[in-house]
Structures are given as C-alpha cells and as structure tokens.
C-alpha cells in the first residue's frame, strides 16, 4: 500500500518549454490579430498621405470634405467651398478620394 502511495507522489517537474508554450501562443495570437493589421493600416495611411497632391478631394478626421489647394510639408490648405479655406494637418486626413472618380448620384433608392 505504501508503495502505491509513493509511486503516485513521484512526478517529474514540468518542462520549461511546456510551461512557456501558452504564453508563446498568446503572443502569436496578439501579433497576427492586433499588431500586424495595425502596422499594415499605418503603412497604408502614410502612403496615402505621401500621395496627396493639389486638386485631390480629401475627407478630414472631423468629416469635412474639400479640395486641396496647397500642400506645405505636413499642412494642407483645403477649400471647403463657398470661399471657405482651412489649414489641415496632413496626418488628420481620414480619406483621400480619387479626383477622377465620378460621384454616385444616380444610385437607386
């Protein structure tokens, strides 16, 4: 009987690799689901900002839509229409619309 109890209590200590495996898997999940997509989005946004030229239609982070009239480093002068011109920091642009794309005014309602 004592022999059975002694055999049940003799266990090997956990291996270092098996104890670290859950943390490595969590790290991989975070990388592929959070970090990698965010870096791709940031890279795409920087490329979009670098391609902004005079005449492009832009949407600011506040939702204002206008045409770029002047590009000065990281600042843009945007004409909102009706004689309203504002200076916008380029990093605050949400979208650059294609200047040659037609508006979708004929969509079915």
Q: What is the pLDDT of residues 7-40, one digit of tens each?
A: 655 566 678 888 899 999 999 999 999 999 999 9
Q: Do 80 and 57 fall within a single domain?
A: yes
What pLDDT does residue 16 have?
A: 84
Tell me, yes or no, whether 22 lies in a domain: yes
Q: What is the pLDDT of residues 45-78, one digit of tens each?
A: 999 999 999 999 999 999 999 999 999 989 999 9
CA atoms within 13 A on the CB side of 47: 6
More confident residue, 9 or 84: 84
76 beta partners: 71, 88
pTM: 0.68
Distance CA 48, CA 46 (A): 5
Beta strands 84-89; 93-97: pairing state: unpaired
Which CATH number goes with the domain that contains 60?
Answer: 2.30.30
Print the domain residue range for 38: 16-50
Say which residues have a Cβ less than 8 Å from residue 71's Cβ, sequence separation at least 6.
52, 53, 54, 77, 90
- Whether 67 and 79 have beta carbons less than 8 Å apart is answered as yes
Q: Do 40 and 66 fall within a single domain?
A: no
What pLDDT does residue 104 have?
A: 59
Which of 50, 74, 92 corresponds to the end of one domain?
50
């Amino acid at each position: 009987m004592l022999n059975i109890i002694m055999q049940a209590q003799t266990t090997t200590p956990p291996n270092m690799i098996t104890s670290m495996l859950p943390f490595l898997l969590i790290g991989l999940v975070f990388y592929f689901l959070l970090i990698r997509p965010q870096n791709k989005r940031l890279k795409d946004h920087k490329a979009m900002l670098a391609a902004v030229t005079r005449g492009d239609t832009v949407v600011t982070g506040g939702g204002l839509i206008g045409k770029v009239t002047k590009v000065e480093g990281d600042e843009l002068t945007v004409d909102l229409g009706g004689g309203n011109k504002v200076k916008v920091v380029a990093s605050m642009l949400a979208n650059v619309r294609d200047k040659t794309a037609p508006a979708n005014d004929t969509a079915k309602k």
